[in-house]
Structure 1
Amino acid sequence: MDNSSSISSLLGAAAARAVPAVRAVREEQLGDPTPCARYDVRKLTDHLFDVVVNFTRLARKQPSRFQEDPHHVGTGDWRGLFAEEAGRLAAAWGEPGAEEGTTGGMHQPARTVGTLVLLDMTVHVWDLARATGQEFTPDPAGVEVLAGVIGDLAPAARDAGMFDEPKRVATDASPFEALLAATGRDPGWRPSA
């Protein structure tokens, strides 16, 4: 595996896109809907924050402590803290042994677990950007990796209620649009006027 396809490198590129998206969220947008129907902007940002913190722990083979209802948004400089935590996430996955062995409560291969956080850092950041009127272009290398595994991840994610049924996309859909559709999202989703 070359360095450009390491989880750390992929997460670094995803974080470079996520941090500006989180920084651009305005307070008055926190109650707005997102393409991920179970979350408004506040809850989605809190969830993304919780994911970043816990997958940093998982990279280090530590137990995760996911919160049922996390509350990071609105506490101090939460945008700056998200940027710090996103940097820690990418760094943790670059530490020796992070992609080796198993990690997490289900003892999954570490690279699979790293791929799961890459999925959240790509798709949920699109959710956030789309909900708040921002442009978002994902890292092509990350999309390529995710496109290669989404077929294996999606059935279990749907069974767990994390994904909706896949959406149809045009034959000329981009790889990212196809990825979004595989997670049950409408790639054309826009906030209602």
Structure 2
Amino acid sequence: MSATTDVTTGVTADPRPLLDRAVAQLAGLVAVVPADRLGDPTPCTEFDVRALLGHLVAGAHDGAELGETGTVEWSGPPEGVADDGWSAAYEEARARLVAAWADDAKLARTVKVEWGEFPGAVYLTSGMVLETVTHTWDLSRALGHPLPLDQELAELMLGWAERFLPAGRRGEGVPFEAVRPVPAGADAYDRLAGWLGREV
């Protein structure tokens, strides 16, 4: 991977290549979700598969709006998506997201979100790449891991999370549970999930 990392922020100078990989990987997984599994539970306990897909589509549109305008009115899950329409809905959302951040100048521009104001590059790393990679594990686990996952993405996000979401930084204002143990030999996705409070 050619992206460089700022040693003071832990954020890649241009996280868009990581974002491209993360959303492309998730799109491939969404494409294989069977309609009869939409009601299945996921490790993200507030979501079944359908609700998780709605959250992911909405999140990509929200990230696109931030890229387009620098601020966002958080959207809820999309309405009226047919059982076989989730792949198309996510493809539309991720295409908008990638296009919204195509201008290099947006990486340094400040964006406003509910947890603060950050340069676009910081938001993309923490708000989009980490979120996408983590929820990819949630969806993959719910479906029985039907596709191989990009381990490097999870390793990079685990390193970021260990630095900026340490075990002692949980509770009020941090939307993750306490770090949970993972089995010996766990892959990068399982270790990331455990670090963010998922039961592995």
Q: TM-score, normalised by structure 1?
A: 0.81
Q: 2:173 aligned with 1:165, yes or no?
A: no
Partner SS for 2:105: coil
Map residues 8-157 of structure 1 onto 2, 5 A cutoff.
8-68=16-76, 70-71=78-79, 73-74=81-82, 77-105=85-113, 106-115=116-125, 116-151=127-162, 152-153=164-165
Moved more, 15-24 or 91-100: 91-100
Q: Runs (4+) of structure 1 moved beyond 6 Å?
A: none
Q: Aligned partners of 2:44 and 2:142: how far apart in 1?
A: 9
**In 2, distance between residues paired with 1:37 and 1:23?**
22
CA-CA distance at 1:146 after TM superposition: 1.2
1:18-61 per-position Cα deviation (integer Å, ceiling 9, x unaligned): 11211112222111100111111111110011111111122234
Counting aligned pairs with the same residue, the percent is 27
Moved more, 64-73 or 14-23: 64-73
The alignment covers a number of residue pairs equal to: 187
For 1:152-181, what per-residue CA distance to the aligned partner results, in whole angstroms no more than 9, with x for missing partners? 146667433621211112454333322111
**Alpha-carbon separation, structure 2, partners of 1:92 and 1:21:** 23
Q: Is the 8 A contact 2:56 2:90 kept in 1?
A: no
Q: Is the 8 A contact 2:62 2:73 kept in 1?
A: yes
More moved, 44-53 vs 77-86: 77-86
Q: Which stretches in structure 2 are left out of the alignment for 5+ residues?
A: 5-11
| Partners of 1:21 and 1:129 within 8 A in 2 | yes
Gapped runs of 5+ residues in structure 1?
A: 188-193
Look up the equivalent residue of 2:177 and give its one-letter code.
Answer: D
